[in-house]
A and B are shown apart, each in its own frame.
Chain A
Amino acid sequence: MRCPACRGEFAFEPAKGALLSDTAFQHAVDAVSSGGHLRWGVEHLYYAACRRWRRGNPVGVAVVLIGLALIGAFLLRNRAPVFVLAVGVAAAVVWQVRRARAVPVFAPLPMERFNEMWARWLAVHGTPKGVITRRPQSPKAREPEPDLPLYSFDRAVICDRARTVDLLLANNFHFENNCAVLSLGGYPEKPFQTVRATLKRNPRLHVFALHDATVPGCRLAHRLANDPGWFKDQVPVIDVGLRPSHAAPFRGLFLRAQGGRVPPGEGVTEKEAAWLSQYTLELAAIRLEQVLKRLSRAINRRFDEDTSTDGTTWGDGSSGVREDTESFSQEAGSSDDGPDGFG
């Protein structure tokens, strides 16, 4: 089927049972990249497509209120100021409703159907701008300067998944935050050894663990803090999430856990183990723009002191895990139209 206006081919035909129209899918693409400013992966698009926004209906409310004002004025008769006041109140309420934050409603799409739609979209419309694409690694044309491996970073974010690392690096997070970004499993391969070696050179390194609310994810910080190859007896590890305690605002986006009962331990409490036995929640469920802002805030907030308000100290060889319960706990559906509060 083709668009009557431009004759471009459509990917989807809702009339024939497609879950989303091309327009709706395109909206999701625009949303996930925040209007083309961010780099993203297909997993973020999935959750963007699951997320619909609901606003108050200004026209309906206005009609009702103005109607009430008119009725009131008629009943009060000859009280023109009251009528004017009533209209004024109605106008103010309409204005407020229009400004009100949108609330997300989650309508999860079946994953297989979404994957089919994505494949079809690529075939018809090509790869959208901003999709993170890993380059094949080849020997660099230019020899790196000999001093590069000798320095270090102020901070490091260690992730459970390579794709989370991609998300940060492709959006220049490391550049903007003086931050090493690595996955537990050794990604990105080429610079991994060099970067990890540099982390040993800063006794005041600030380390943050960023992960999905899954079993391996919730054990990540514990592993990092107890592995001499990582940060045991070096520096503390701060777990920014996601843990089950962060999950409540995303109730509609939980996935079913596979793999049966999860035992507590290795950094996972009993209560968390119970939740993880039933559900998982991917970091990708949070809007990408929010992830970057919150993470940036989380890693910069602690930076002003060598001892933070929760007693975490750096530079004296103390280690172990601290939890950051704040940065990823706020209601994730906050629109960025209103005061975002992230400085």
Chain B
Amino acid sequence: MSGICGWVGEAEPAVLEAMLAAIDYRGDRTDTAFAPGVALGYRWWGGRPGKSPGIHRAGPHLVACAGTFAPPVPSPAAALMDRLVPGPGGLDSLDGAFAGAWWDGERRRLTLVRDPFGVRSLYYVEHGGAFYFASELKQLLAIPDLPVQVNPAALHTYLTFSFVPGEDVPVLGVRRLLPGRVARWEGGRLRVEPYLTLREGIDPQFADRAAAVRHIRSRWREAVARRLNGEREVGLFLSGGIDSSGVAVWLREAGVGVRAFSLDFGERSVEKPQAQVVADRLQLPLTFLRVGGEDLAPVLMDLVWKLDLPFGDAVTGPQYLLGRAAREAGLSAVFNGEGGDQFFGGWTNKPMISAELYADLYEEDSREEQYLRSYHRFYGREEQLYTPEFRAQVGGPGQRRAHLAPYLAGDAAATFLHRVRLADIALKGSQNILPRAERMANAWALDVRVPLFDRALAEASFALPPQLKLHGACEKYVLKLILQRHLPREVVWRRKFGMSVPVTDWVLGPLAEAVEELLGPPSLARRGLFRGEYVERLRRGRNDPDETRRRRIGERLWTLAMLEAWLRVFLDGRGRRPAGALP
């Protein structure tokens, strides 16, 4: 896609060049604008419709906007200013995948804005009397004398969630603007406010199932149509599950050419036949991409660098390789089915409901603690994993629960299911699924389009009674009701498996050498975060006695390995492009 950067204050123009150079893979064209006390930069791929063709200049105003709107406009940068000027409407229906900065030269005010759910990112830091901002962390690290020190509290949350939630990032002093927010920097102060707050608002008309099905069907179809930009052909990551299959249905109806890609993990692939059935029914060309751990070893450091932040879910490896395949097929945009679980009642509803029905039988459980356990990383295992030195630096109790309380105990919803949905959307969706999908696609100059995170569709989903999402034990019920007209019964109504990356096989097998390099005793001793004994046990393929699933071993090792790799690239290496596969 594209990227922006800049500052308010005084800095050398060469710094802007360095910040733009740090994301050279995000475009072949650059534009810069300098005015007293401000600088803006923009990088993009020329010739792609829907992208700003440069920095927008209008009198005292400068606007740089990365990404696209939904529905598309010729220049998001030009359109953004109109939206941000106070007045009715403005940001009410604003949607897309974008991050923008508007400098009002009259008021001497910088306004920053991110898309509703966080497909594109914005980071900022105050340094040397200037306020810097950029699309990627690596751009800020390119500021020559910026101190780069690790933020231990952010590592602590990463180790629980497998991503870093909230406004903090793992580098001290750098912060992140949250999605669906507008930030204004004026007079040396930053004020942030949301322009989108999801709330439950159940509409009685949707007690009528048919009405609900009609409504969601049309929103979902529009969500796909709004993300088409006149391309002749787009890619689709077809997992075989109903979410991406539904997107395939609407893409066909929209009349655009679709090339589908699906993952093949060898004998571990449970969803492969499903993907084929869907592709056959919709007559889509389908390419299976065989992915094994050995395919990831040579690209691991580039993957980490492109991710820009630590992400501990091994799905990023296959996503990276899917992106490469789509690029080699000559595509410039890919669709996916991410969001079905978050909005329409998938994971983590069931364990949370179980926990809630059986709460407080033996000791006082909190809903927040159970939710943290559902990430299946290191929550509750800090004593085993952390060195005493690291433990002393991560801060006091309650930090992780604080991320959850507004959703799990707040008043934006009255039903349990919607409370858990709100938490999943804000955390898993906005801080994990969307940014990593965007970065893995953009590693290969691909735009990613995520129709299930469409704003109007999202708002409509919260007007539904929750039983249309989880119907007994049937997840995503309303989506299945919609799709049963379009897809075979056995695809729509089968039990869900969930795509399972065979990460344990990989880290104990073809990636064992890389894991040893990253998590062997010398590396652990140097970094000083983790206890050797615990990591050694995982590397030998042994998990804690209370773990029954083998895949937890791989998930945990991958989370640790990715963190060490991230630290090498971004802390030790200041975010510069890594030289080889593995240092």
- Asked if A178 and B350 make an inter-chain contact with CB atoms under 8 angstroms apart, the answer reads yes
Nearest B residue to A173, CB-CB: B548
- State which of A137, A147, A170, A188 has its C-beta within 8 Å of the C-beta of B416: A147
Residue A195 CB within 8 A of the other chain: yes
* Distance A132 CA – B546 CA, assembled complex (angstroms): 15
For A204, what are the chain B residues with a Cβ–Cβ distance below 8 Å?
473, 495
Nearest A residue to B364, CB-CB: A135
- State which of B470, B472, B546 has its C-beta within 8 Å of the C-beta of A34: B546
* Distance A133 CA – B270 CA, assembled complex (angstroms): 41
Q: Add 13 more A-B contacts to A174-B355, A306-B495 (CB < 8 A).
A: A34-B545, A37-B545, A134-B361, A137-B361, A146-B414, A151-B470, A151-B473, A153-B350, A178-B351, A188-B358, A296-B548, A304-B497, A306-B494
> Which residues in chain A, 146-187, are within 8 Å of chain B measured between CB atoms?
146-148, 150-154, 166, 169-172, 174-176, 178-181
For B550, what are the chain A residues with a Cβ–Cβ distance below 8 Å?
342-343
User: Given A135-B363, A170-B362, A202-B472 in contact, is the A148-B546 Cβ separation under 8 Å?
Assistant: no
* Distance A135 CA – B362 CA, assembled complex (angstroms): 5
Q: Considering the complex of A and B, which 3 residue pairs feature the smallest CB-CB distances, nearest first?
A: A34-B545, A145-B416, A201-B472
B residues near A, CB below 8 A? 270, 349-351, 353-364, 370, 373-374, 414-417, 419, 466-467, 470, 472-474, 494-495, 497, 544-546, 548-550
Minimal beta-carbon separation of A42 from chain B (angstroms)? 15
* Distance A148 CA – B351 CA, assembled complex (angstroms): 12
- State which of B353, B362, B495, B545 has its C-beta within 8 Å of the C-beta of A38: B545
Nearest B residue to A174, CB-CB: B354
Minimal beta-carbon separation of A183 from chain B (angstroms)? 13
Number of interface residues of A (CB under 8 A): 56
For B361, what are the chain A residues with a Cβ–Cβ distance below 8 Å?
134-135, 137, 169-170, 188, 190
* Distance A45 CA – B470 CA, assembled complex (angstroms): 41
User: Given A152-B472, A202-B473 in contact, is the A289-B351 Cβ separation under 8 Å?
Assistant: no
* Distance A194 CA – B354 CA, assembled complex (angstroms): 12
Residue A140 CB within 8 A of the other chain: yes
A-B contact pairs, 28 of them (CB 8 A): A35-B545, A38-B545, A133-B362, A133-B363, A135-B360, A145-B416, A146-B414, A147-B466, A147-B467, A148-B353, A151-B349, A151-B353, A154-B350, A172-B355, A172-B546, A175-B351, A175-B355, A176-B351, A178-B354, A180-B354, A191-B358, A195-B357, A198-B472, A204-B473, A289-B546, A292-B548, A342-B548, A342-B550
* Distance A81 CA – B378 CA, assembled complex (angstroms): 52
- Asked if A293 and B548 make an inter-chain contact with CB atoms under 8 angstroms apart, the answer reads yes
* Distance A198 CA – B474 CA, assembled complex (angstroms): 13
- Asked if B417 and A147 make an inter-chain contact with CB atoms under 8 angstroms apart, the answer reads yes
- Asked if A152 and B355 make an inter-chain contact with CB atoms under 8 angstroms apart, the answer reads no
For A306, what are the chain B residues with a Cβ–Cβ distance below 8 Å?
494-495
Residue A205 CB within 8 A of the other chain: yes
- Asked if A304 and B495 make an inter-chain contact with CB atoms under 8 angstroms apart, the answer reads yes
Residue A27 CB within 8 A of the other chain: no
Nearest B residue to A150, CB-CB: B467
User: Given A152-B473, A303-B495 in contact, is the A174-B545 Cβ separation under 8 Å?
Assistant: no
User: Given A37-B544, A147-B467 in contact, is the A134-B354 Cβ separation under 8 Å?
Assistant: no
For B353, what are the chain A residues with a Cβ–Cβ distance below 8 Å?
148, 151
Minimal beta-carbon separation of A307 from chain B (angstroms)? 11
Residue A144 CB within 8 A of the other chain: yes
Give chain B's interface secondary structure class: loop
Minimal beta-carbon separation of A127 from chain B (angstroms)? 13
User: Given A37-B545, A151-B472 in contact, is the A175-B354 Cβ separation under 8 Å?
Assistant: yes
- Asked if A169 and B545 make an inter-chain contact with CB atoms under 8 angstroms apart, the answer reads no
User: Given A148-B416, A176-B351, A304-B270 in contact, is the A292-B546 Cβ separation under 8 Å?
Assistant: yes
- Asked if A134 and B362 make an inter-chain contact with CB atoms under 8 angstroms apart, the answer reads yes
* Distance A321 CA – B221 CA, assembled complex (angstroms): 46
- Asked if B357 and A194 make an inter-chain contact with CB atoms under 8 angstroms apart, the answer reads yes
For A292, what are the chain B residues with a Cβ–Cβ distance below 8 Å?
546, 548
For B495, what are the chain A residues with a Cβ–Cβ distance below 8 Å?
204, 303-306
> Which residues in chain A, 15-42, are within 8 Å of chain B measured between CB atoms?
34-35, 37-39
Minimal beta-carbon separation of A58 from chain B (angstroms)? 21
Nearest A residue to B551, CB-CB: A343
Nearest A residue to B467, CB-CB: A150
For A133, what are the chain B residues with a Cβ–Cβ distance below 8 Å?
362-363
Residue A331 CB within 8 A of the other chain: no
For B356, what are the chain A residues with a Cβ–Cβ distance below 8 Å?
144, 148
Minimal beta-carbon separation of B347 from chain A (angstroms)? 10
For B359, what are the chain A residues with a Cβ–Cβ distance below 8 Å?
140
Minimal beta-carbon separation of B539 from chain A (angstroms)? 16
For A194, what are the chain B residues with a Cβ–Cβ distance below 8 Å?
357
- Asked if A179 and B415 make an inter-chain contact with CB atoms under 8 angstroms apart, the answer reads no
For A137, what are the chain B residues with a Cβ–Cβ distance below 8 Å?
361
Nearest B residue to A179, CB-CB: B354
* Distance A135 CA – B544 CA, assembled complex (angstroms): 27
Minimal beta-carbon separation of B417 from chain A (angstroms)? 6
Minimal beta-carbon separation of A330 from chain B (angstroms)? 15
Nearest A residue to B417, CB-CB: A147
* Distance A202 CA – B548 CA, assembled complex (angstroms): 25
Residue A336 CB within 8 A of the other chain: yes
Nearest B residue to A289, CB-CB: B545
1/0 contact trace for A251-293 toward B, CB 8 Å? 0000000000000000000000000000000000000010011
* Distance A181 CA – B361 CA, assembled complex (angstroms): 13
- Asked if A37 and B546 make an inter-chain contact with CB atoms under 8 angstroms apart, the answer reads yes
Nearest B residue to A171, CB-CB: B546
For B497, what are the chain A residues with a Cβ–Cβ distance below 8 Å?
304
For A132, what are the chain B residues with a Cβ–Cβ distance below 8 Å?
362
Nearest B residue to A342, CB-CB: B548
Residue A297 CB within 8 A of the other chain: yes
Nearest A residue to B415, CB-CB: A147
Minimal beta-carbon separation of A169 from chain B (angstroms)? 6
For B473, what are the chain A residues with a Cβ–Cβ distance below 8 Å?
151-154, 201-202, 204-205
Nearest B residue to A168, CB-CB: B358
- Asked if B360 and A140 make an inter-chain contact with CB atoms under 8 angstroms apart, the answer reads yes
